[in-house]
C-alpha cells in the first residue's frame, strides 16, 4: 500500500477486548473561543454547535468579543460561523437541538424560542406561573422541553407547533430526608399513554422515577451521593457518577447492575465536568483536561488534552470539542475491525490484500482470489460495508476497488447494492467536506435519514449541494428549489420584477413545480404584487385558490376556482367568501360569476335557504323565489301552511308577465289542495298529496262520480284521459254493473271499447270482457278472433273468422285450438267455406 495513506488501526485503542477509534474530523477555526467558557449545545448527527455567553461572562471581556453579548453564535463542526442569533436581554437557562437542526432556547422566565439556521423563530411559553417561579435547569428530547423549576417541580412542553404542557408529580422530600435535587435525566416510558418521557432524579443517595401521576423510589445498594446521571442513546442503560469517584452502570429498569468502578484517587479528586455515553457501549468522563473512556467491564482508556474538552453523545459514539480541535470517538465498526485488525485472516482482509497485490502486479493476487472461493461473496459485502464506516476517502477507494475486484469474479451478485453504496458515500463525503462541516457517520446517517440530511444542506443555503445529493440518490428535489426561492424572497431587497424574473428563470427547468408555497412566502413578507404574479405560474388552480383566499383576493379566487370545474372546491371558496364579507358585497361578487351561482344555488337549496331567498330577492329573481316557496310547501306540516306558501309563490309570479303560466299552475295547485281538504273532511281516506288524476280515481271508487265530473271540468281534464281514469277506477273495485251501464250509455267511447276488454281481462273476468268485443268495431278480423280466444270463446272466434271467408284465418285458428273440444266449431266453419 502507498506509504502516504495512514493505516486505520493506528487510530485505534484497545479497551479490554474491544477496539475504539478516536478520529480527528477537522481543525476548528474558532481559535479565540474556548467552548468550556460558554453555554453550548451540540446538534445530533454531526450537526451545528450553538454557543452563547453564560451569566458568568456577560460582562464585556476581550476573551469573549468574538461572541457578542446577548447573541448566540452557531458554528459547524469545522468551526465556520453559520449564523448569529440575537435574543432579548433575558437570562438563558439552556439550549438544545432537535434532529431537524432547530435550536431550542429557554429563558429563566419560561419563554421558549425555536430557531432555524436562517435565524427565523417561533416562540411560546412554558405556561402560566413559570415566569414567577423561574427555571433552574432544562433538558431536551426530540420533541419537547423539560424544565426543573426553582420550587423543585418538573414540567414539560411537547410538540413545538402546538405545545402541550405536562406537570410531573412532586418529590417526597420529607420522606427521603434530603432536600436537594442533585441530578436528573430523561428516560422513555413505553407504558405511558403517549409514549412520553419519565424523569429520573437523584436526591442524596436516593434515585426516583417520576411521571405525571406518581414517583417511584428505586433501591440501589450502597449508593452514595450522585452528582451526574446519563441515559444511553438506546435508553437501556443508566450511568451514575457518585461524588466518591465511583461510576455505576445499571439497566434502565433498575433490575441489574452492570458496572461498579471506583476511579483512581488522583482522578476522583478532580471535579467531574461532564459524563456522557460513547454510543451504547462505553461511558466518557471529563475531569478538567482528562477524558476517560470507561468500558462495559471496568477497563478504561485515558486521553489527555491541552484544554478541557466538551463532549456530546451520538448514537454510535461521542463528539469531542476543544478550543482547537474536533474529534469523534467510537467503537470500531465490525467490518473495519474484520479487515484492518493486525493479522486478520477474514475474507474481507484477504480480498483487500489480494487487491493490493493486484495493484502491485503480483502473481499471487489471482491465487488469493481463487483461494477465497465460497467466501468471496462475504468478502465483497464486508469491504462494501467497511467503506461506509470509513472516514478516509483514500481508504474508501481502496475498499470499494477491492469489492469491485471481488464482485467481478462472482457469477451471482447484486451490483445495485454496490452502486447504492457509492451513491451514499458521495453524499456522506460531501457532508463531511470542511466547507459544509457536517461530520456524520454512516450509522448516524441511517438514524437521521437522507431527507433530513439534505434538508440540512438546504438550511445552510447550500442549495446546489442539496440538489446534487438528491440527484445522486434519485429522489425528488423540487422542494429544494422552493426553499431557495422562499429564502431569496425573504432576504432580497431587489425590485419585485427582478425577484420574479430570477425565480421564474431558475425554476423554469422544473416541470410542474408548485409556486404556491413561494407565493405564500411573498404574501407573508408583505410583497402582495409579487405573490399574485407568482401564483400565475402555479400549475394547480386549487393551490392558487387557497392562497388567494388568504390574501383576501376573493374575486381572483372565484375566477380561478371556476376553472377547476370542481363543484366541491367552488362551494368551499364561495362559503369562505360569504363568511368574510358583508352579505351585500358577497351577492355582488357572486352575481358576476354565473357558474359559481349555479353551484351555490344547488348547495343553498339544501343548506342555507334563507340566504338563498335573500340572494334571489336582491337579484329580482322572482322565479327563484317562487320555486323556493313551492319547495317549502313540501316541508310544511298542514294544508293551510301549504296553501299559504303557494299563495306567496303565486303572488310573486303575478308580478312578472313572464311567469303567467307558473302563476296559473300555482293557482290550480291551490284549488286542488282546497278541494282535497274538503274531500278529507267529507269522506274517509286521504286525499291531500294526491295528483288530480289520483283524486278523480278515488272519487269514482267511492261512488262520487258527479264530483269527479266537476273536477274534470274545473281542471280541464281531456275526455280520453278521464275515460281511462274512470275505466281503471271501476275495474279496480270490480264494479262490472256500473261499467256496463256506463258503456251502454255511450254511443261512442272516446277511447274505444278495446280498453274495456283488455282492462277487464287483466282483472281476470273473461265473461265480462267478452261483452265488449262486439263493440270493438275498429279492430281487424284477426284482432277480434284473438280477443275471443283470449276470453275462451272458441265458438265466437270461429264465427268471427267465418265472416271473413278467409281460409287462412280459420286455418290459423284451428291450429291454435286443435287440442280443445271446441275446435269442432272451427272445423265445421272451415268445411262449409270449402264447399
- Mapping DSSP onto H, E and C, the string for 224-261 reads CCEEEEEECCCCCEEEEEECCCEEEEEECCCCCEEEEE
Domain ranges of the chain: 31-167, 620-682
Closest CA to 556 of 548, 547, 568, 564: 548
Q: Return d(Cα 773, Cα 722) in angstroms, integer.
A: 22
Work out the percent of the chain whose per-residue pLDDT is above 70: 84
CB atoms within 10 A of CB 541: 19
| Tens-place pLDDT, residues 59-92 | 544 455 567 777 899 999 888 889 999 887 678 9
Q: Return d(Cα 10, Cα 341) in angstroms, integer.
A: 10
For 159-168, 256-265, 567-576, 646-655, which range has the lowest pLDDT when averaged over its residues? Answer: 646-655
What Å distances lie between residue 206 and 143, 183, 632, CA to CA? 29, 11, 77
Cell of 115: 430557531
Q: Are 791 and 770 in contact (CB under 8 A)?
A: yes
CB atoms within 10 A of CB 497: 11
Candidate ranges 208-212, 328-332, 566-570; pick with highest mean pLDDT:
328-332
pLDDT at 835 over 60: no
pLDDT at 29 over 70: no
Residue 95 has a pLDDT of 95
Q: Return d(Cα 429, Cα 469) in angstroms, integer.
A: 11
| Tens-place pLDDT, residues 358-383 | 888 887 888 888 888 889 999 999 99
Q: In 3-state terms, what secondary structure has residue 555?
A: helix
Residue 387 has a pLDDT of 96
For 468-477, 555-564, 630-639, 685-694, which range has the lowest pLDDT when averaged over its residues? Answer: 630-639
For 136-140, 328-332, 567-571, which range has the lowest pLDDT when averaged over its residues? Answer: 567-571
What Å distances lie between residue 289 and 60, 166, 274, CA to CA? 26, 39, 11
Closest CA to 810 of 797, 818, 819, 801: 801
User: Which residues have a Cβ under 8 Å from the Cβ of 156 and sit 6 or more positions away?
Assistant: 144, 145, 146, 147, 165, 166, 168, 196, 197
Q: Return d(Cα 635, Cα 625) in angstroms, integer.
A: 16
Average pLDDT over residues 432-453: 95
Residue 80 has a pLDDT of 87
Residue 385 has a pLDDT of 96
Instruction: Read off φ and ψ for residue 329, nearest 5 degrees.
Output: -115, 130
Indicate the burial class of 58 (C-beta count within 10 angstroms; 0-12, 13-18, 19 or more): middle
CATH topology of domain 31-167: Methylamine Dehydrogenase; Chain H (2.130.10)
Instruction: Dihedral sign for Cα 74, 77, 79, 80, please.
Output: negative
Q: Are 557 and 549 in contact (CB under 8 A)?
A: yes
CB atoms within 10 A of CB 101: 25
Average pLDDT over residues 208-233: 90
Q: Return d(Cα 29, Cα 246) in angstroms, integer.
A: 36
| Tens-place pLDDT, residues 272-321 | 999 999 999 999 999 989 999 999 888 999 999 988 999 999 999 999 99
Q: Return d(Cα 233, Cα 279) in angstroms, integer.
A: 7
Cell of 378: 462475504
Candidate ranges 4-13, 243-252, 542-551; pick with highest mean pLDDT:
243-252
Average pLDDT over the chain, rounded to an integer: 84
Q: In 3-state terms, what secondary structure has residue 808?
A: helix
Q: Return d(Cα 633, Cα 645) in angstroms, integer.
A: 6
pTM, entire model: 0.75
Residue 386 has a pLDDT of 96
| Tens-place pLDDT, residues 770-799 | 787 777 777 777 777 777 777 777 677 677
Work out the percent of the chain whose per-residue pLDDT is above 90: 38
Closest CA to 384 of 366, 399, 362, 365: 399
User: Which residues have a Cβ under 8 Å from the Cβ of 59 and sit 6 or more positions away?
Assistant: none
CB atoms within 10 A of CB 626: 25
Amino acid at each position: 500500500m502507498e506509504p502516504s495513506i495512514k493505516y486505520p488501526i493506528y487510530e485505534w485503542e484497545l479497551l479490554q477486548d474491544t477496539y475504539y477509534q478516536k478520529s480527528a474530523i477537522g481543525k476548528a477555526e474558532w481559535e479565540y473561543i474556548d467552548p468550556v467558557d460558554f453555554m453550548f449545545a451540540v446538534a445530533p448527527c454531526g450537526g451545528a454547535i450553538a454557543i452563547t455567553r453564560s451569566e458568568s461572562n456577560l460582562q464585556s471581556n476581550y476573551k469573549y468579543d468574538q461572541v457578542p453579548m446577548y447573541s448566540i453564535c452557531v458554528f459547524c463542526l469545522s468551526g465556520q460561523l453559520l449564523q448569529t442569533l440575537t435574543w432579548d436581554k433575558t437570562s438563558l437557562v439552556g439550549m438544545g437541538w432537535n434532529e431537524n437542526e432547530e435550536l431550542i432556547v429557554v429563558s429563566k422566565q419560561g419563554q421558549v424560542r425555536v430557531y432555524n439556521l436562517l435565524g427565523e423563530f417561533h416562540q411560546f411559553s412554558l405556561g402560566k406561573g413559570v415566569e414567577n417561579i423561574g427555571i433552574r435547569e432544562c433538558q431536551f428530547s426530540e420533541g419537547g422541553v423539560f424544565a426543573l423549576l426553582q420550587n423543585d417541580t418538573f414540567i414539560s412542553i411537547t410538540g413545538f407547533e402546538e405545545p402541550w404542557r405536562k406537570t410531573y408529580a412532586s418529590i417526597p422530600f420529607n420522606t427521603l430526608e434530603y432536600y436537594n435535587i442533585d441530578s436528573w435525566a430523561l428516560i422513555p416510558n413505553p407504558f405511558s399513554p403517549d409514549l412520553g418521557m419519565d424523569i429520573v432524579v437523584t436526591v442524596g443517595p436516593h434515585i426516583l422515577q417520576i411521571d405525571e401521576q406518581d414517583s417511584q423510589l428505586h433501591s440501589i445498594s450502597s449508593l452514595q451521593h450522585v452528582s451526574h446521571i446519563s441515559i444511553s442513546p438506546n435508553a437501556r442503560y443508566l450511568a451514575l457518577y457518585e461524588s466518591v469517584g465511583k461510576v455505576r452502570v445499571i439497566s434502565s429498569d433498575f433490575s441489574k447492575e452492570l458496572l461498579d468502578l471506583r476511579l483512581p484517587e488522583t482522578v476522583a479528586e478532580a471535579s467531574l465536568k461532564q459524563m456522557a455515553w460513547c454510543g451504547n457501549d462505553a461511558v466518557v468522563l471529563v475531569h478538567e483536561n482528562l477524558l476517560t473512556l470507561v468500558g462495559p467491564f471496568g477497563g478504561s482508556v485515558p486521553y489527555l488534552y491541552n484544554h478541557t474538552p466538551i463532549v456530546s453523545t451520538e448514537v454510535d459514539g461521542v463528539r469531542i470539542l476543544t478550543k482547537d480541535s474536533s474529534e469523534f470517538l467510537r467503537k470500531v465498526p465490525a467490518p473495519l475491525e474484520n479487515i484492518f485488525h493486525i493479522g486478520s485472516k477474514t475474507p474481507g482482509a484477504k480480498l483487500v490484500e489480494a487487491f493490493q497485490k493486484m495493484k502491485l502486479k503480483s502473481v499471487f493476487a489471482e491465487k488469493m482470489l481463487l483461494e477465497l472461493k465460497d467466501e468471496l461473496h462475504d468478502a465483497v459485502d464486508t469491504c462494501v460495508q467497511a467503506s461506509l464506516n470509513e472516514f478516509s476517502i483514500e481508504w474508501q477507494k481502496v475498499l470499494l476497488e477491492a469489492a469491485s475486484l471481488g464482485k467481478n469474479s462472482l457469477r451471482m451478485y447484486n451490483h445495485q447494492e454496490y452502486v447504492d453504496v457509492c451513491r451514499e458515500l458521495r453524499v456522506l463525503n460531501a457532508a463531511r467536506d470542511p466547507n459544509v462541516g457536517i461530520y456524520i457517520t454512516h450509522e448516524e446517517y441511517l438514524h437521521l435519514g437522507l431527507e433530513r440530511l439534505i434538508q440540512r444542506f438546504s438550511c445552510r443555503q447550500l442549495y446546489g449541494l442539496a440538489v446534487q445529493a438528491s440527484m445522486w440518490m434519485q429522489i425528488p428535489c423540487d422542494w429544494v428549489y422552493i426553499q431557495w426561492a422562499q429564502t431569496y424572497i425573504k432576504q432580497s431587497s431587489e425590485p419585485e420584477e427582478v425577484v420574479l424574473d430570477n425565480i421564474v428563470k431558475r425554476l423554469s427547468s422544473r416541470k410542474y413545480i408548485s409556486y404556491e408555497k413561494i407565493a405564500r412566502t411573498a404574501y407573508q413578507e408583505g410583497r402582495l404584487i409579487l405573490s399574485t404574479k407568482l401564483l400565475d405560474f402555479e400549475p394547480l388552480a386549487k393551490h392558487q385558490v387557497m392562497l388567494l383566499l388568504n390574501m383576501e383576493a376573493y374575486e381572483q379566487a372565484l375566477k380561478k376556482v371556476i376553472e377547476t370545474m370542481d363543484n366541491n372546491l367552488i362551494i368551499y371558496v364561495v362559503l369562505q367568501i360569504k363568511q368574510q364579507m358583508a352579505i351585500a358585497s358577497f351577492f355582488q361578487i357572486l352575481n358576476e360569476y354565473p357558474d359559481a351561482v349555479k353551484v351555490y344555488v344547488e348547495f343553498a337549496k339544501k343548506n342555507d335557504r334563507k340566504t338563498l331567498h335573500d340572494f334571489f330577492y336582491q337579484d329580482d329573481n322572482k322565479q327563484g323565489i317562487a320555486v323556493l316557496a313551492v319547495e317549502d310547501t313540501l316541508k310544511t306540516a298542514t294544508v293551510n301552511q301549504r296553501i299559504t306558501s303557494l299563495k306567496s309563490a303565486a303572488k310573486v309570479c303575478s308580478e312578472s308577465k313572464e311567469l303567467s303560466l307558473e302563476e296559473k299552475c300555482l293557482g290550480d295547485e291551490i284549488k286542488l289542495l282546497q278541494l282535497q281538504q274538503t274531500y278529507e273532511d267529507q269522506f274517509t281516506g286521504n286525499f291531500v298529496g294526491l295528483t288530480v288524476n289520483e283524486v278523480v280515481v278515488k272519487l269514482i271508487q267511492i261512488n262520487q262520480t258527479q264530483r269527479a265530473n266537476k273536477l274534470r271540468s274545473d281542471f280541464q281534464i281531456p275526455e280520453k284521459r278521464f275515460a281511462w281514469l274512470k275505466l281503471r277506477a271501476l275495474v279496480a273495485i270490480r264494479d262490472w254493473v256500473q261499467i256496463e251501464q256506463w258503456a251502454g250509455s255511450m254511443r261512442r267511447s272516446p277511447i274505444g271499447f278495446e280498453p274495456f276488454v283488455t282492462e277487464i281481462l287483466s282483472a281476470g273476468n273473461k265473461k265480462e270482457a267478452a261483452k265488449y268485443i262486439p263493440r270493438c268495431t275498429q279492430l281487424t278480423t284477426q284482432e277480434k278472433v284473438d280477443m275471443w280466444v283470449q276470453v275462451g270463446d272458441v265458438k265466437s272466434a270461429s264465427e268471427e273468422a267465418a265472416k271473413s271467408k278467409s281460409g287462412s284465418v280459420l286455418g290459423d285458428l284451428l291450429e291454435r285450438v286443435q287440442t280443445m273440444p271446441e275446435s269442432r266449431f272451427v272445423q265445421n266453419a272451415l268445411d262449409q267455406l270449402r264447399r
